[in-house]
Chain A
Amino acid sequence: MTTAEKYVTAAYCVVFAVVLVYVLIMALKLHRLEREVDELADRVPAEDDAEETPRETARVG
C-alpha cells in the first residue's frame, strides 16, 4: 500500500467514523427519550384514573 493510498483510506475512515459516532449519539439520545416517554405514559393513566368521575352508561343507536 502506497502512502497516498493509506492517506485516502484514512480520510474515508474518518468520514465514516464521524458519521457512525453521530448516529450512535443520536441512537442513545432516542433511547433515553423512549424511556422518558414510557415513564410519562405510566404516569398519565394513574392521574386520569384519580380525576375520572363515574359516568352513567347509555345505549347508543
Chain B
Amino acid sequence: MSAPAATIGAVGRTSRIPLPALAATSLVLVTTAIVFVFFVAPTDANQGFSQRIFYFHVSIAITAYACFAGAAWQAFRLLWKRDPLADLKSYVCVHQGVIFGTLVLITGSIWAKISWGRWWLWSSDQLVLFLVLFLFYCAYFMLRFSLDPGPQRANLSAVYALFGVVLIPVSFAAIRLAKDIIHPVVFTLHGPNFGGWILVTYCISQVAMLVLAYTLYRVELAGKQLDGRIRELREVLA
C-alpha cells in the first residue's frame, strides 16, 4: 500500500463501533424518549405540562458537562502522554459542549418564560454561572483560532480546556447551594427528586442525549481527521 493510501485508510479508525450503527441507535433512542415524554410520563402536579421540558433540558445540560469534561480529559492526555490526536478530540468535545450548552440556554429560557414569565433572570446565580461557563468555552475558540496551528496552539488550548473543567462542579453545585430556590433541583444528595415513569423517562432521555452527542462527536472527529489528512496529502502532492 502506498503512503497516501495508508494515510487515507487510517482515517476513522478511532473506535470499533461503526457510525451507521451509532446513528441508528441515536435515532431509536431519541424517538423512544419523545414517545415517553409526551405519551407515557405523567403530568407534574406542581408545574403542569411545562415540566416536560425538563426531560431534555436536564439531559442536555448533563451532556454538555460531559462534553466539557471529555475535553478536559483529552487535554490532560495531550499534556501528559503527548497523544497527537488528543488536541483534535479535545477541540471537538468543546465544540459539542458549546452546541449542547446553547440548547440548555434556549430550552431553559423557554421554561423560564412559562414558569417565571421572563426569559432570563440576572438575579439567579445558577443561570448566570452556567452562562459564564458557556461564554468561557466560547472564548476557547477565539484563543484557538488566534494562534497558528502547531504544538503551541495545542498546548495553550489544552491548558484552557483544563481550567474550564473547574467551572463544571461550581455550576452544578450552584443550583444546590443557591439561597434563592428559583431553579428547581432535580438531583439531591439523597438521589433524584422523582420516581416511577418520570425517572424512567428521564433515564431514557439522558441515555439518548449522551448517545446522540457521542454520534455527533464521532462524525465531526472523522470529518476533521479527514480534512487534516487531505491537507497533508495536498502538501505532499504540491
Are B50 and A18 neighbours in the complex by a CB distance under 8 Å? no
Contact of A26 among B37, B107, B219 (CB under 8 A): B219
Q: What A residues does B219 contact at CB under 8 A?
A: 23, 26, 30
Whether, in the assembled complex, A5 has its beta carbon less than 8 Å from a beta carbon of chain B, the answer is yes
Are B49 and A4 neighbours in the complex by a CB distance under 8 Å? yes
Given A3-B114, A22-B216 in contact, is the A11-B53 Cβ separation under 8 Å?
yes
Given A18-B102, A37-B8 in contact, is the A12-B48 Cβ separation under 8 Å?
no
A15-58 vs B, CB cutoff 8 Å, 1 = contact: the mask equals 10011001100100110010011001001100110000000000
Are A11 and B111 neighbours in the complex by a CB distance under 8 Å? yes
Contact of B114 among A7, A26, A30 (CB under 8 A): A7
Are B114 and A4 neighbours in the complex by a CB distance under 8 Å? yes
Interface of chain B residues 56 through 82 with chain A (CB within 8 A):
56-57, 60
Are B237 and A14 neighbours in the complex by a CB distance under 8 Å? no
How many residues on B have C-beta within 8 angstroms of the other chain's C-beta atoms?
33
A4 to B49, CA, bound (A): 6
Are B50 and A8 neighbours in the complex by a CB distance under 8 Å? yes
Contact of B223 among A4, A7, A30 (CB under 8 A): A30
Q: What A residues does B4 contact at CB under 8 A?
A: 40, 44
User: In the assembled complex, how far is the CB of residue A25 from the closest CB belonging to chain B, in whole angstroms?
Assistant: 10
Looking at chain B's contact residues, the main secondary structure is helix
Q: What B residues does A10 contact at CB under 8 A?
A: 110
A25 to B113, CA, bound (A): 30
Are B216 and A11 neighbours in the complex by a CB distance under 8 Å? no
Q: What A residues does B49 contact at CB under 8 A?
A: 2, 4-5, 8
Which of B128-136, B146-154, B183-191, B225-233 is the interface stretch? Answer: B225-233
User: In the assembled complex, how far is the CB of residue A4 from the closest CB belonging to chain B, in whole angstroms?
Assistant: 4
Are B233 and A40 neighbours in the complex by a CB distance under 8 Å? yes
B98-129 vs A, CB cutoff 8 Å, 1 = contact: the mask equals 01001100110011011000000000000000
Q: Which B residues have a C-beta under 8 Å from some C-beta of A?
A: 2, 4, 8, 34, 37, 48-50, 52-53, 56-57, 60, 99, 102-103, 106-107, 110-111, 113-114, 212, 216, 219-220, 223, 226-227, 230, 233-234, 237
> Can you list 11 pairs linking A and B with CB atoms under 8 Å apart?
A7-B110, A8-B49, A8-B50, A8-B52, A11-B56, A23-B219, A26-B223, A29-B223, A33-B230, A44-B4, A47-B237
